[in-house]
Amino acid sequence: MRLICAACGNYVHFEVDVEMVRSVRSTPHGVAVENSLENGWDDSETTLRMGVIDVVDYCTKQDMDALRWDAESGCYISAYISCARCGSKRVCVPYQPWSPPKNHVTLEEELKLNRHEFQWLRKERERHADSMPVL
Amino acid sequence: MQIQCRSCSNHESFVVPLWVRATFKFDEDGTISILHVRQLESLEEKLADQGKTSFSLTCSECGGDAQVVFDEYSTRDQESREKAALEAL
């Protein structure tokens, strides 16, 4: 589950607006719009797929930066993605990637616990630095 | 109507970005499948708005800006009239 609609609970189907490159070809009967093919590579399909993936990755990673405050509804809404079932834009990530475990240790305690390992790491780095060949 | 490239002589193939609304779903393995694509902009409106907005209709061969000529026959008529007038003189 990467995204969820806070209005209806949908976490599968969504909608997003992206830019897609199309080819415009002049014909004797007018203008024909079709997929842009370059050496057998469908550029239109690639731009569409990459556009969707980029927006989803951005919204998943940035979370709050991808949301904006909507004064009418009085809640945060997604600036890019909407729910394909109910049409709501209250789409966000369903959880924080990091959540404190039950035996939670504060950062300060964790640094103290790992102090010896860090000192060993620094010594190891200095030893390797001394043994580097001199040109 | 005729589309011409301003840099080269190409007048057949061009590229334009168009906004579309893609409906997609997350598969069980986390990949994304596209269900439906709906065009949000009409190409006719984009071509008609040429000059008012920058929509970057570009040549597919050289990448240069393209120019849309809506009444190419009238300009040709005018050129032929001017030519005939000069010949008459």
Q: What is the pLDDT of residues A72-83, one digit of tens each?
A: 888 899 999 999
Which residues of chain B does A36 touch, with a Cβ-Cβ cutoff of 8 Å? 15, 60
Of A19, A25, A52, the CB nearest to B24: A52
Q: What are phi and psi of A123, to 5 degrees?
A: -60, -40
Q: How far is CA A50 from CA A43, A68, A112, in A?
A: 10, 24, 44
- pTM for this one? 0.72
Q: Please tell me the distance from the alpha carbon of residue B89 to that of residue B66, in angstroms, as a whole number.
A: 37
Name the residue with tokens 């596209």: B34
CA atoms within 13 A on the CB side of B50: 18
Find out whether B20 and A17 touch, Cβ atoms under 8 Å: yes
Is the pLDDT reported for residue B25 higher than 90? Answer: yes
Q: Is the ipTM of this complex over 0.95?
A: no
- Candidate from A108-112, A113-117, B41-45, B75-79 with smallest mean pLDDT: B75-79
Tokens of A8: 């209806």
Interface of B with A in 23-52 (CB under 8 A): 23-26, 30, 32, 34-35, 37, 40, 43, 47
Residue A115 has pLDDT above 90, yes or no: yes
Q: Is A84 on the interface with B (CB under 8 A)?
A: yes
Nearest CA in chain B to A29: B1
Residue A28 CA, chain-centre distance (Å), reads 45
Q: How far apart are CA B28 and CA A75, in angstroms?
A: 30
Mean pLDDT estimate for chain B: 81
B62, B5 in Cβ contact below 8 A? yes
Mind listing the pLDDT tens digit for each residue in A26-35? Answer: 887 778 888 8
User: Using CA atoms, how far apart are residues A47 and B10, in angstroms rounded to an integer?
Assistant: 24
Gap between the Cα atoms of B47 and B3, Å rounded? 10
The three-class DSSP label of residue B29 is coil
Long-range contacts of B80-88 (CB under 8 A, 24+ apart): none
